Structure 1
Amino acid sequence: MIERLGPGIAAASLAVAACSASPPMTPAVPEPPPKIAPMPTVDLPPQRFATAPPGTTPSTVVRPTKEQVLAAAPDLDGLLKQALGKLGVVGLSAAVVLGRERIWAGSYGTRDRDGGEPIDVDTVFRIGSLTKLFTGLAILKLRDAGKLGLDDPVARHLPEIEQVRYPTTDSPRITIRHLVTHTSGLPRLGKLDYFSRKEAVTEPELLAGLKDLSLEAPPGEAEAYSNLGMSLAGLVVSRVSRQPYRDYVTEQLLEPLGMGASVWDQEAVPPDRLASGYRSENDSYRAGHHWRMGASEACGGMYSSAADMARFVGSQLDAWPARSDPPSGPVRRSSIRESHLLAGPGPSGARSFGINWGSISHPKLGFAATHAGGTLQYGATVWLLPERGLGLVLLANGGGEAGEVAERLSGVGGRMLDLILKQVPVPELTLSPALAAAATKVRALLAAPETDAIEQLFNEAFLKQFPPKRITKLLTQSADALGACTGHTPLQQSDAKTGVVRLDCELGTAEVVLVLESPTAAQLAGFAIRAVEPHD
């Protein structure tokens, strides 16, 4: 296959792929709903493990050192002092975590607008939607215990959800995965009201709001952030664990992590620890009542401190990379890693959800997991760079409409991480020996595409789909467009068998993608060459 990707530059792309057609879906009939079978119990054989750990993969992703983080401290301090005024908040508490250790903390402003005690790392704030991260962990912990499945219909554990109305007759049932990836089709709130009342939301009230509630989209087809959906996920935790949601999260997650300052009620926070909440309006601050979330608290009811949230961030970072060490926390490391990665069936885009984490590929920071939380009186954000072992939390007493402060606080968090990474030198990437040898052989083939050399470089499966004559033709056309290639530069090694190099040639440059048959042999199972830029 030949494409023209630039003036006078040809590109050839070779790949091996296989696909199979999926069986047609049977439209679901919403009325009457089909009976949901109980979840079967299956005894699985024990897992088998390799006798030696996998080899490491060279990468441009470097974990910062403690010294590099601290070298950024003056810049972090200056940024947060500016942010305190620009965000329109009374106080701000921040913590930076490397591995499992809190490396740096900064506190700004006061707990009270009238010049009260200064904020510190132990000051308690309401963290709003960061609570959802704990709800997601609770779901995963119950899944790991075999008590539910992410793809269970929610109705298996919460039959009341059958009161909703699906938009089409072929809509699939709402699953637990849909709830925790915000792809259920449920509205943001529906009839849920925890903000205009002083009494706590009750479970009967929450469930009564589902009657004849129309979904905004078929489950699994669109991402739409839903506090209602996460409130229902909290009820699933309660039903499956057979104890109140807050008790399960406290006993199974908060206490094992040492998060003793994290609580569910304003009255449970010592008065000398609580940051008073304020709503910012026209350069002034207005106090307001704290939401009584009750049965809906799984979507945003928790209070916590920067010190406690730093412990949580450390437990999340500790899950990376995969390894054979003994368990190190209340939730399996593999499940924590799963929560950071894309988990929902929604369409791809710049932002998608893991298990309640926003999973993104940031142009400066790389792979990141993040979440923001806000109420009318508070804002919060947490960032993880899992591959770098780096994370942070920011908490503020000051809010506004529609989580405005929380979103702006998230932007500050991203800038903090950027300041830290500027202290980390970018190493020169070196490919594994097998990939480096394969790159050299490809460059030689561009100069002289001999059949014997082609048959030695590519594996049998590749040659069956792309015979040597076809490969020769494509290499010749690429060589004519590029001219003589004098060297190559490693650009990326994404795993032990896959790498990308840039060819530096007489008439232009090109990128070559190499896929090895095995990590230790310079034989290719996949290959692509694409033109990048012609020389003037």
Structure 2
Amino acid sequence: MSNKLLDYRVPSVAPPRSSARTIIYSFLILCATLAPAFWAGVLRFDAPYRTSFVAAPSCKVPLPNLLAYSPPTGDEAVTQEASLLLDAYLTERSAHDDIDSMTVAIVTPRGTVFERAYGSLRANESEPDKYGPVDSDSVYRVASITKMFTVLETLILRERGVLNWDDPVTKFLPNFTYSGASWSEHLGGQADSTQPQGPITMRQLASHMSGLGRDYPVQNVPNWPAEIPGSYGFRERPREEVLKAISDLPLVVPQYEYPVYSNAGMDILGIANVEANKLSSDTPDDEPQSHKELIQRDILHPLGLNSSFYVVPSPDIAAHIAVPRKDSEWADIVFGDTDDPAGGQFSSLRDLTTLMKTFLSPTAAGGLISRYVVREWLRPLHPWRDGMNEVGAPWEIRKLSNEMRMYAKGGNLPGYHSQFTLIPEQAFGVILLLAGEYTDTVSLTDVAVARFAPAFAALQTEAAAHAYAGMWRGDSAVVIVAVRDGMLYVDLLVVRGVDVLEAAGAGPGRPVALWSTGRKDEFRLGVGRAELNDVPIAGCEPYWISMDVYGYQSRGAPLDLVYFEDDQLMYPAAGVQLKRL
């Protein structure tokens, strides 16, 4: 798939200033450079102004995520333009016969900046006047987006002390076993002599790293390749049948070799969650006895997700289910307790928006897990060698222009196709629910990201410039902060005549990037190592290995700490506070 849609560049944005004031600041910068006496000894002639800028830094540091704290409203010119472009594209695309209906939202921690619905609620009806429109409350099968809820439940239980991420599955399912044989040993009748190598854990199941195959029991094709597998079918499977099939066959690959997408693994995770919760209780019979009951108690009910379920709860809700023209029977299929954790869930755009807002919030406000756990969860666990795709738990991760990551969970069942995508660095996400024969919701999501990511990047740059950029002056100190090429730089930091950036080890005449710590308005100076900073293959290594300036402090503060508080720039290691001019 081409990445051209996602290869965008956003111009630098200057801090908001009038023309007259800009001239004054330019004059002051010149004075700071050429007339140190003007500053009463602040600058020295041997502390040069930094003009040796690195055009293309080998280590790209993201801007602070200010949009998470002050999200766009959707009324900004750039978001309105993005909305018009996306709506025009989706209106045209949804008019094709392969899409029966579709609901789409662009979500921030505050809510939606774009929310649209296209097509017919009941495309299977023979009379057009019975089609009805879809809206944000229309219910779709979300297929494998269900897996995200299953892993979220595992994290909730872990935070309650019910289980650990690396617990073996056998702790909760003692009859769970798997074969340690290779396929050659299995086919050669030698499997019984080979013991499993290490446990299968909850973490492995959540990230598809257990080595388990896609589905069990496997479907037999006796005369391959003369006979081709038939169409996708479904039947409820007892837990014991699945466990027996897993124990009889070798793993696809050993654990942690690389991810193998496994519906069965996610089903086992969901079942293990239920058993772990019961095991931790003094009254296990009073606890949820199935995955759907556990999810209802811990996720759906607390968040008020009234349009999310595994079994249609009432005729009123049934009337809101989007039904595709083809494969309409899938609107009525109930997966059952064994298969629910991998793909049995229904949900709506409104419900998924409520959940996504909690993931994007910098404080996880209203959410079910802490911000600490969200940071842990939104991390790649396995990189593929294409340089673009990675795997999380259970995220399908892609890089945008080799910089930002999109954390997505997609879902596909006959007649239903969906995407739930987060872009944490810009504090927004995309939700897309579709009924019809068109399956490529990844490309539709890419179109949405291509329209909105540049808009969010421009707003993020503008916010950073407004908050931090400019000349800051204090007693015997001057700092110049600039936003350039999507990064925040300190171009000059001089205290009592000392060039602090050079003294800290950045090298002469070199601007230093401000690395956000993830705490609002707090940064570390990305000093790096002067001998490695311009070595392309070194990338980010010189900077992260030298973070905290090797542990040196002054006046109780790290030498590389900078933060902004009460309209002041604070550099506590030198004991200075500066005001913006």
Q: Which residue of the partner structure matches residue 461 of structure 2?
A: 426
- Tell me which amino acid in the other structure corresponds to 2:171: R
Matches within 5 A, 1:248-259: 248-259=294-305
Structure 2 distance, partners of 1:90, 1:110, is 6
Residue 144 of structure 1 and its aligned partner are, at CA, apart by 1.1
Matches within 5 A, 1:448-463: 457=504
Q: Percent of aligned positions with the same letter in both sequences?
A: 24
1:158 equivalent in alignment to 2:173: yes
Residue 80 of structure 1 and its aligned partner are, at CA, apart by 1.6
Partner of 2:175: helix, strand, or coil?
Answer: helix
Give the counterpart of 2:360 among 291, 310, 317.
317
Matches within 5 A, 1:352-371: 352-363=390-401, 366-371=404-409
Q: Deviations over 1:460-512 (max 9, x none)?
A: xxxxxxxxxxx9xxx8xxxxxxxxx8x54556636433527999xxx999999
Residue 435 of structure 1 and its aligned partner are, at CA, apart by 7.6
Q: Deviations over 1:338-380 (max 9, x none)?
A: 2211346998953333321234432277233211111111011
Structure 2 distance, partners of 1:374, 1:245, is 20
Structure 1 distance, partners of 2:321, 2:305, is 15
Give the counterpart of 1:214 among 250, 266, 279.
250
Structure 1 distance, partners of 2:295, 2:511, is 50
Q: Which residue of the partner structure matches residue 342 of structure 1?
A: 380
Structure 1 distance, partners of 2:460, 2:239, is 53
Matches within 5 A, 1:227-376: 227-242=263-278, 243-266=289-312, 268=314, 270-278=317-325, 285-290=326-331, 291-294=333-336, 295-318=338-361, 320=362, 328-343=366-381, 350-363=388-401, 366-376=404-414
Structure 2 distance, partners of 1:141, 1:511, is 36
Partner of 1:329: helix, strand, or coil?
Answer: coil
1:499 equivalent in alignment to 2:514: no
Residue 206 of structure 1 and its aligned partner are, at CA, apart by 2.5
Structure 2 distance, partners of 1:257, 1:80, is 30
Worse-matched range after superposition: 159-168 or 222-231: 159-168
Contact 1:357 1:370 in 2 (8 A): yes
- Tell me which amino acid in the other structure corresponds to 2:424: P
In structure 2, relative to structure 1, the CA distance for the partners of 1:411 and 1:163 (3 Å cut) is: same
- Tell me which amino acid in the other structure corresponds to 1:152: D
Give the counterpart of 2:440 among 405, 409, 416.
405
Q: Which residue of the partner structure matches residue 31 of structure 2?
A: none
Residue 267 of structure 1 and its aligned partner are, at CA, apart by 6.7
Residue 227 of structure 1 and its aligned partner are, at CA, apart by 0.8
Matches within 5 A, 1:104-143: 104-113=114-123, 114=125, 115=128, 116-143=131-158
In structure 2, relative to structure 1, the CA distance for the partners of 1:118 and 1:262 (3 Å cut) is: same
Give the counterpart of 1:59 among 39, 46, 63.
63
1:379 equivalent in alignment to 2:417: yes
Give the counterpart of 1:201 among 237, 249, 255.
237
Structure 2 distance, partners of 1:354, 1:511, is 24
Q: Supply the RMSD in Å over aligned alpha carbons.
A: 3.9
In structure 2, relative to structure 1, the CA distance for the partners of 1:508 and 1:443 (3 Å cut) is: farther
Partner of 2:240: helix, strand, or coil?
Answer: helix
- Tell me which amino acid in the other structure corresponds to 1:493: W
In structure 2, relative to structure 1, the CA distance for the partners of 1:139 and 1:346 (3 Å cut) is: farther
Q: Which residue of the partner structure matches residue 84 of structure 2?
A: 74
Partner of 2:394: helix, strand, or coil?
Answer: coil
Partner of 2:210: helix, strand, or coil?
Answer: coil
In structure 2, relative to structure 1, the CA distance for the partners of 1:331 and 1:192 (3 Å cut) is: farther
Contact 2:100 2:435 in 1 (8 A): yes
Q: Deviations over 1:316-335 (max 9, x none)?
A: 112x368xxxx733333322
Residue 61 of structure 1 and its aligned partner are, at CA, apart by 4.8
- Tell me which amino acid in the other structure corresponds to 2:422: L
Q: Deviations over 1:223-244 (max 9, x none)?
A: 1111111011111112112321
Q: Which residue of the partner structure matches residue 480 of structure 1?
A: none
In structure 2, relative to structure 1, the CA distance for the partners of 1:366 and 1:410 (3 Å cut) is: same
Residue 457 of structure 1 and its aligned partner are, at CA, apart by 4.2
Residue 305 of structure 1 and its aligned partner are, at CA, apart by 0.6
TM-score between the two structures when normalised by the length of structure 1: 0.67
Structure 2 distance, partners of 1:523, 1:142, is 38
Structure 1 distance, partners of 2:443, 2:312, is 25
Residues paired across the two proteins, number: 413
Residue 192 of structure 1 and its aligned partner are, at CA, apart by 5.9
In structure 2, relative to structure 1, the CA distance for the partners of 1:198 and 1:177 (3 Å cut) is: closer
Structure 2 distance, partners of 1:334, 1:92, is 34
Worse-matched range after superposition: 327-336 or 130-139: 327-336
Contact 1:126 1:303 in 2 (8 A): yes
Contact 2:383 2:389 in 1 (8 A): no
- Tell me which amino acid in the other structure corresponds to 1:93: T
Structure 1 distance, partners of 2:400, 2:414, is 28
Residue 178 of structure 1 and its aligned partner are, at CA, apart by 0.4
Contact 1:351 1:358 in 2 (8 A): yes
Matches within 5 A, 1:37-52: none
In structure 2, relative to structure 1, the CA distance for the partners of 1:425 and 1:317 (3 Å cut) is: closer
TM-score between the two structures when normalised by the length of structure 2: 0.62
In structure 2, relative to structure 1, the CA distance for the partners of 1:342 and 1:425 (3 Å cut) is: closer
Give the counterpart of 2:259 among 205, 223, 227.
223
In structure 2, relative to structure 1, the CA distance for the partners of 1:253 and 1:498 (3 Å cut) is: same
Residue 265 of structure 1 and its aligned partner are, at CA, apart by 2.3
Structure 2 distance, partners of 1:441, 1:298, is 59
- Tell me which amino acid in the other structure corresponds to 2:324: G
Structure 2 distance, partners of 1:425, 1:145, is 36
In structure 2, relative to structure 1, the CA distance for the partners of 1:381 and 1:289 (3 Å cut) is: closer
- Tell me which amino acid in the other structure corresponds to 1:431: Y
Residue 436 of structure 1 and its aligned partner are, at CA, apart by 8.3
1:96 equivalent in alignment to 2:106: yes
- Tell me which amino acid in the other structure corresponds to 2:238: T
Contact 1:491 1:501 in 2 (8 A): no
Q: Deviations over 1:118-162 (max 9, x none)?
A: 111111000011111110011011111111111111111122321
Residue 261 of structure 1 and its aligned partner are, at CA, apart by 0.7
Q: Which residue of the partner structure matches residue 187 of structure 1?
A: 213
**Runs of 5+ unmatched residues, structure 1:** 1-56, 279-284, 445-455, 459-470, 476-484, 525-536
In structure 2, relative to structure 1, the CA distance for the partners of 1:363 and 1:273 (3 Å cut) is: same
Partner of 1:393: helix, strand, or coil?
Answer: strand
Partner of 2:366: helix, strand, or coil?
Answer: coil
